[in-house]
């Protein structure tokens, strides 16, 4: 059995929310909008198609032919705007399974991606994509099995609806929770379910508590959370590693450095998402378990 088939890797290709923000003040954490890749055994899972998916696509060109599973949390622009620039989807011989819950108006993820690429929004229609594309409607609360990988989902508190995902494989768990807004009087049961005992929790913490509750520019009702709330969830759900995600485009590298220091102090397993960050979630059956002569590896390493 190859090492690849015994790894559960999480890599970040886009970590910003709302709008891409390239520039001198965002070099270290990156300015691309959400895209997270998980290599789970022999399966490649991709979460959201923000501008980060364009960069991922370039990196995948050397690995064709490809098969992958793309999960969308919702179809706000910052989560789908990179999909028309995902080059592997244009190349015959590749295959992608694309998942998303129906919008409140009943539109499917296929229709919304198609509409994004129709005139006058985009010059090249979805039908030009040469890869074998299969679309699936995610039923909220119903798990999806991809081989021996289990992908659960739950509805999040976000305007227009969004869903979060929980990926489980051989005892390893990674949760992707973006976009969501916390409740003022309790922890969100859906978020807690997704995060419970996770090795890695990726959580939408666009704001600080001070920004969220600002008397001059309140962010209440905007559909996003704070790093302080992220820590509460991580502690309550027994999370091992907390990754602060969906950074506000107004937050510079220096600002995120300061937040990162506060997060690490409040939760020892906390860190800030940045483009290129790669984490490994090792399964309960590791290479060392298969070959006792090898030194055992800790379940998580950054």
Backbone angles phi, psi at 203, to 5 degrees: -130, 135
Q: How far is CA 86 from CA 31, 82, 134, 135, 277, in A?
A: 17, 7, 16, 16, 20
Going by DSSP bridges, is the β-strand pair 8-14/278-281 parallel, antiparallel, or unpaired?
antiparallel
- Residue 142 is predicted with a pLDDT of 97
Give the chain's length.
Answer: 302
Residue 277: predicted pLDDT:
98
| Spatial distance between the Cα atoms of 288 and 148, rounded to a whole number of angstroms | 20
The count of other CB atoms within 10 Å of the CB of residue 199 is 23
Please, are residues 71 and 46 in contact by the beta-carbon 8 Å criterion? yes
pLDDT of residue 283: 60
pLDDT tens, the chain, 302 aa long: 456 678 999 999 999 999 999 999 999 999 999 999 999 999 999 999 999 999 999 999 999 999 999 999 999 999 999 999 999 999 999 999 999 999 999 999 999 999 999 999 999 999 999 999 999 999 999 999 999 999 999 999 999 999 999 999 999 999 999 999 999 999 999 999 999 999 999 999 999 999 999 999 999 999 999 999 999 999 999 999 999 999 999 999 999 999 999 999 999 999 999 999 999 997 654 444 434 333 333 333 33
**Residue 179 near residue 73 (C-beta atoms within 8 A):** yes
Q: Measuring CA to CA, which residue among 94, 95, 98, 90 is closest to residue 129?
A: 90
Return the pLDDT at 4: 62
**Rounded CA separation 62/296 (Å):** 31
Residue 5: per-residue pLDDT: 73
Top-level class of domain 4-301: alpha beta
Q: How many CB atoms lie within 10 A of CB 119?
A: 8
Burial of 288 per CB tally in 10 Å (0-12, 13-18, 19+): middle
Q: Where are the domains of the chain?
A: 4-301
Give dist(CA 278, CA 301) in Å, integer.
9
**Can you give the pLDDT at residue 3?**
62
Q: Give the model's pLDDT for residue 6.
A: 83
């Amino acid at each position: 059995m190859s090492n690849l088939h015994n790894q559960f890797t999480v890599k970040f290709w886009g970590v910003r929310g709302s709008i891409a923000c390239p520039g001198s003040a965002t070099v270290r954490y990156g300015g691309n909008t959400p895209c997270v890749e998980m290599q789970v055994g022999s399966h490649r899972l991709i979460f959201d198609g923000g501008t980060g998916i364009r960069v991922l696509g370039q990196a995948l060109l050397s690995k064709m032919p490809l098969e992958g599973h793309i999960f969308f949390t919702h179809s706000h622009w910052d989560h789908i705007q990179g999909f028309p620039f995902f080059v592997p989807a244009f190349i015959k011989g590749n295959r992608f399974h694309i998942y998303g819950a129906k919008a409140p108006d009943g539109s499917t993820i296929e229709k919304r991606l198609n509409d994004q690429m129709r005139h006058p929004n985009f010059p090249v229609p979805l039908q030009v994509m040469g890869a074998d594309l299969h679309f699936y409607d995610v039923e909220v609360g119903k798990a999806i099995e991809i081989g021996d990988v289990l992908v659960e989902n739950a509805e999040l508190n976000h305007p227009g609806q969004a869903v979060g995902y929980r990926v489980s494989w051989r005892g390893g768990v990674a949760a992707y929770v973006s976009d969501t807004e916390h409740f003022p009087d309790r922890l969100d049961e859906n978020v807690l379910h997704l995060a419970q005992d996770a090795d890695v929790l990726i959580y939408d913490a666009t704001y600080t508590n001070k920004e969220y509750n600002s008397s001059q520019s309140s962010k209440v009702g905007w559909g996003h959370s704070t790093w302080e709330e992220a820590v509460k969830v991580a502690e309550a759900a027994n999370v091992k590693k907390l990754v602060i995600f969906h950074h506000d485009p107004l937050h510079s590298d220096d600002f995120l450095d300061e937040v990162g220091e506060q997060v690490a102090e409040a939760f020892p397993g906390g860190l800030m998402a940045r483009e290129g960050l790669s984490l490994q979630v090792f399964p309960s059956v590791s290479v060392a378990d298969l070959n006792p002569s090898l030194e055992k590896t800790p379940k998580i390493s950054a």
